Chains A and B, each alone.
Chain A
Amino acid sequence: MRIALFVTCLADTLYPQAGKATVRLLERLGHEVVFPAAQTCCGQMHVNTGYQRAALPLIRHYVETFSGFDAIVVPSGSCTASIRHQHAMVARRLGDDKLAERGDQVGARTFELSQLLVDVLGVTDVGAYFPHRVVYHPTCHSLRLLRVGDRPLALLRNVAGIDLVPLPDAEACCGFGGTFAVKNADVSTAMLADKMRNVLATGAEVCTAGDSSCLMHIGGGLSRLKAGTRTMHLAEILAATRDDP
C-alpha cells in the first residue's frame, strides 16, 4: 500500500527518530512510504491556544498537501485527533464550508500509527524484537478522541523479548496539554509528578507512547530527575528487530 507520512512538526524538528522508525516499520511490512515535502504543521497548537484564524492557513495547507493520498499515517494521536476533529470544525466556524468538507474527507483518510497498523493494514504482530522492560502511557487524545483502545498494547504484546508491565493509573493525563504546560506550568508539573511516580514504580527502562509531545513532557521530567528511565516513541519499539535493533 502507498502511504503518505505526515511526520508532524514536532517529530520533524526535535524527534526525527520517531519519523524514521515509522518509515522503517512500514517499509519492512512491505508498504511504500512517501513524504510530501510541502507538509508543515497541523495547526493544533494554534487552535488549542485560541488562535483559530491563524490556524486556518495551516489547516488549508495540510488539506492541500495530503488531499491526493488514500492513506496518511501520523506518528501522533494528538495531531491525528486535531486533523480529524478540529480541522473541519475550525473551517466551518470561520465560514469556509468548502474547506470543512475537504477537511472531513482528508481527515477520514488520516490514521494514527496504531490505527493504521491494526485497522487498515490488519497486523498486530509486526515482527519486532525489543528485550527491555517497557511501560505504555496511553495518551489522552489517542485514548479519548481517537479511541485507539488497546491497539498499541496489542502491538506491544507481540513484540519478542519485551517485558511489558502495566502502568498504574495509566489513563491519567501526564499534564502536557500543549501551551497548558507553559501557561499553567505549576499545575502541569503536579500532574507530571504523579505520572512519573507511577512510571518509576514499575521499574521500567523505557516509557513509551504514541505521541512525541507527551513523551517530551514525561521524558523532560525524568531527565531532570536523572531517573534512569528513558522515553521512546511506540514506532521506535515496533521498528526494532533482532538484526536492526
Chain B
Amino acid sequence: MSTFLGMPAGSSPRASTAPRGVGHLRGDQPFPAAARLALADSQLRRNLAKATTTIRAKRARVVAELPDWEELREAGQAIKARTLAGLDGYLEQLEREVTARGGTVHWARDATEANQIVTELVASSGAKEVVKVKSIVTDEIGLNDALADAGIQAVETDLAELIVQLGHDRPSHILVPAIHKNRAEIRDIFLREMGDVDAGLTDVPAALAEAARLHLRRKFLSAKVGISGVNFAVAQTGTLCVVESEGNGRMCLTLPSTLISVMGIEKVIPTWADLGVFLQLLPRSSTGERMNPYTSMWTGVTPGDGPQQIHLVLLDNGRTAALADPAGRPALSCIRCSACLNVCPVYERVGGHAYGSVYPGPIGAILSPMLTGVEDNASLPYASSLCGACYDVCPVKIDIPSILVHMRARHVETARAQSWVPSSEAVTMAAASWVMSSAARFAAAQRTGRVGRLLARHGVIDRLPPPLRGWSRARDAPVPPRETFRQWWRRERGAAEPGRTDDGA
C-alpha cells in the first residue's frame, strides 16, 4: 500500500487510491446554463451587487489600516505551504495530541464515510436533534440530509444558515450563505417556516435577528449534541478553533454534552504561534472587521466544563488527490474568507448557486474541480475572465488566475486522453497553432479572413456564425480592414529589417 502525502495510508481499510470528492460539489448543469438563469433574476442581481459592494469597501478600509498587510499575507502563504508539504505528519501529530487530551479522532475517506461516522455517533447518544455551527464542510458532505435519513434533525444556528435551511434553499456564499436574499424575503421565510414567530414581524434587521434568537434559544438549551466545522486545528497542541460573529457557535460548542467537529484535512496548522497570523488575516478579509466577535478554542476534554465527549472527523473527500497536483496544490491553502467572491465580477452577477458546488466564486472554480476531478466540473475553470481581482485580495496569496489556466489545461488534456475524436475546439486550436507558427501561413490566413468583410452590413458585422454567435448577440464585430498592418509596413517600408529572415507577409 502506498503512502499518500495527505491522509496517512492505512487510516481507512479502503485507502488504496486517493478518493474522489463526493457530496455537494457538482451542479446539475454546466456553469454557462446555470449562469444564464441567474442573470435573468433582477432581484438577485440587485441583492448581490449591494452586498458585495458593501463588503468589498469594508474589507478595503480595514486592510488599508495595516502597514504590514503584505507581510502577513506572505506569512500566511508560507505557513500553508509548509503545512501542505508535510500534511501527513501534521495530521498524525494532531491525532496524537487530541487523543492524549481525551478527544476521539476519526478518519473519513470521503463524504459518505464522514456522514456514516457522524450519524453513528449521534445515534449512539440517543439524540434526535443536533445544533450546528455554520460550517461549509458539513454542507460539502451533505450531513443534514444524511442525519435526516437516520431520523435526526439538524438545526442550523447561524442566522444566515437558518434562513437557508428554513427556506429549503442552498447556501450561495461561503461566508454569507443567504447573500442572495434581502430582508423582505427573509421576513417572508420566517413567517412561513419558523412556527413560533410573532405574526407582526417586520423586516427591520434587529427584529429579524431577535426572532431568530428566540427561536434558537430553545434549541440551544435542549440540545445534547453539537456539530461544528473547524477553522484551524493546531497540530502542536491538539487545539481546535472556530471563528464566528453571532455567538451561536459558542453556544453549540459549550452547552451540549457531546461535540462532533468535522474538518477538511487541509485545515491543520503546525503551531500555536501560526494561529496569530491567520486570526489577523481572516476577519479583515472576510467580514471586513478588525477582529471577529467570537473566537472559540478547545483543547480536548475539560472535566466538568463543556462537552465531555469530543470527536474530530478528519475528511479527505478529494483533498489528497488535489495535493498530488503541485500546480493546483495552493488551492488547499484557502482559509474560506470569501474575499475572492466579493471582488469577483462574475460572482457578483451570477451568485453562488450557478457554480453548483458549496464552494462558489473564484476559489470554488478551482477547488471544486480539484476535489471531484476536472472532468466532473469541466465548465468551472472557464467561469472567469481571468481579471485577477481575486489574487489581489487573497489573504494567503493563492494565484487563482494561474490555477484556473492550469485547470483548463488539465481539462483539455484529460478530455483528449479519454476520447479518440478530438473536439471541434481542439481541432480549431491545433489549426490555429499551425497557421500562427509561420508568418507566411498567418499572412495567407489574414488574406482569406478578409472575406469577413462580406459579413458587414452598413459598415458593421452584427451577426457571426457559431461558435461566435454568442459574441454577436450583444456586440458588433470589427470589420477586417482593407490592409493589415504587415501589408502597410511592407508597402511603406519595403522589406523586413536586415539580418532577419522574412518568411512571409
Binding site for B on A (CB under 8 A): 7, 9, 11-17, 19-20, 23, 34-41, 43, 45-55, 57-58, 60-61, 65, 68, 86, 89, 93, 140-141, 143-145, 171-173, 175-192, 216-217, 219-221, 223-224
Q: Which residues on B sit within 8 Å (CB–CB) of A179?
A: 382
- Cβ distance A51 to chain B, nearest Cβ, rounded Å: 4
Sample of 18 A–B contacts (CB below 8 Å): A20-B485, A20-B488, A36-B497, A37-B500, A38-B503, A38-B504, A46-B432, A47-B409, A50-B405, A57-B433, A61-B436, A140-B385, A175-B345, A184-B383, A185-B32, A187-B32, A187-B35, A216-B477
Question: Do residues B349 and A190 form an inter-chain contact, with CB atoms below 8 A?
Answer: yes
Are A16 and B488 within 8 A (Cβ)?
Answer: yes
Q: Which 9 A-B pairs have the closest CB atoms?
A: A185-B470, A177-B385, A220-B475, A50-B408, A173-B387, A50-B412, A144-B388, A54-B433, A37-B496
4 further A-B contacts with Cβ under 8 Å, apart from A186-B39, A191-B349, are A11-B485, A35-B489, A51-B429, A140-B388
Specify which of A171, A183, A221 is in contact with B382 (CB 8 Å cutoff).
Answer: A183
Complex: A55 Cα to B437 Cα, angstroms: 9
Is A144 touching B389 in the complex (CB atoms < 8 A)? Answer: yes
For residue A14, which residues in chain B have a CB less than 8 angstroms away from its CB?
Answer: 478, 480-481
| Docked-complex contact B439 and A40, CB < 8 angstroms | yes
- How many Å lie between the Cα of A14 and that of B481 in the bound state? 6
| CB of B278 closer than 8 Å to a CB of A | no
Q: Which of A12, A216, A221 contacts B474 (CB 8 A)?
A: A221
In the assembled complex, how far is the CB of residue A226 from the closest CB belonging to chain B, in whole angstroms? 10
Determine the chain B residues whose CB is within 8 A of the CB of A11 once the complex forms: 485
CB nearest to A144 among chain B residues? B388
Give Cα distance in the complex from A54 to B349, angstroms: 33
Q: Which residues of B contact A51 (CB under 8 A)?
A: 409, 412, 426, 429-430, 433
Quick check: B385 and A180 within 8 Å, CB to CB? yes
What's the least CB distance linking A158 to chain B, in Å?
A: 27
Q: Is the CB of B481 within 8 A of A16?
A: yes
Pair A189/B442 contact, Cβ less than 8 Å: no
CB-based contact B505/A37 at 8 Å: yes
Which one, A35, A175, A180, contacts B496 given CB within 8 A? A35
Residue pair B501, A38 in contact (C-beta under 8 Å)? yes
Residue of A at shortest CB range from B410?
A50
When the two chains form the complex, which single residue of B31, B429, B436 contacts A184, counting CB atoms closer than 8 Å? B31
Q: How far is the CB of B36 from chain A (nearest CB, A)?
A: 5
B433 touching A58, Cβ below 8 Å = yes
B468 contact set on A, CB distance < 8 A: 182
B485 touches A16 (CB 8 A): yes
Bound complex: CA of A188 vs CA of B442, how far in Å?
29
Closest B residue to A78 by CB, please name it: B386
From A38, A175, A187, give the contact of B439 (CB < 8 A): A38
A50 touches B432 (CB 8 A): no
Known: A36-B500, A38-B504, A186-B35. A172 touches B345 (CB 8 A): yes
Q: Across the interface, do B412 and A177 meet the contact criterion of CB distance under 8 Å?
A: no
> Chain B residues with Cβ under 8 A from A19's Cβ?
485, 488
* Complex CA–CA separation, A219 to B475 (angstroms): 8
Residue of A nearest to B411 (CB): A50
**Nearest residue, chain A, Cβ from B379:** A183
Contact of B500 with A38 in the complex, beta carbons under 8 Å: yes
CB distance from B399 to the nearest CB of A (A): 10
Residue contact B385 to A13, C-beta cutoff 8 Å: no
The yes or no answer to B17 lying at the interface (CB within 8 A) is no
Complex: A172 Cα to B481 Cα, angstroms: 30
Contact: B462 with A47, CB < 8 Å? no
CA A72 – CA B387 in complex, angstroms?
Answer: 24
CA distance A205 to B10 in the complex (A): 68
List B contacts of A220 (CB < 8 A).
Answer: 471, 475-478
- Of the candidates A43, A54, A177, the one having the most CB atoms from chain B within 10 angstroms of its own CB is A54
Chain A min CB distance to B423 (Å): 11
CA distance A9 to B486 in the complex (A): 10
**Most A-side CB within 10 Å, residue of B385, B434, B462, B503:** B385
Asked whether A13 lies within 8 Å of B484 as measured between CB atoms, the reply is: yes
Is the Cβ of A34 less than 8 Å from the Cβ of B497?
yes
* Choice from A41, A143, A184, A221 contacting B35 with Cβ under 8 Å: A184
Whole-angstrom distance between the Cβ of A37 and the nearest chain B Cβ: 4
A189 to chain B, nearest CB (A): 4
Asked, given contacts A185-B473, A192-B474, A224-B475, whether A9 binds B436 with beta carbons under 8 Å apart, the answer is: yes
The residue that B385 contacts in the complex, of A9, A38, A46, A188, with Cβ under 8 A, is: A188
With a 10 A CB-CB cut-off, give which of B402, B408, B460 has the most chain A CB atoms. Answer: B408
- Residue ID in chain A nearest B35 by CB atoms: A187
Is A12's CB under 8 angstroms from B388's CB? Answer: no
**Does B220 reach chain A (CB closer than 8 Å)?**
no
| CB contact list, B287-302 vs A, under 8 A | none
The residues of A that contact B496 with a CB separation of less than 8 Å are 35-38
The answer to whether the Cβ of B467 comes within 8 Å of any Cβ in the partner chain is yes
A40 touches B502 (CB 8 A): no
Question: B415: nearest residue on chain A (CB-CB)?
Answer: A50
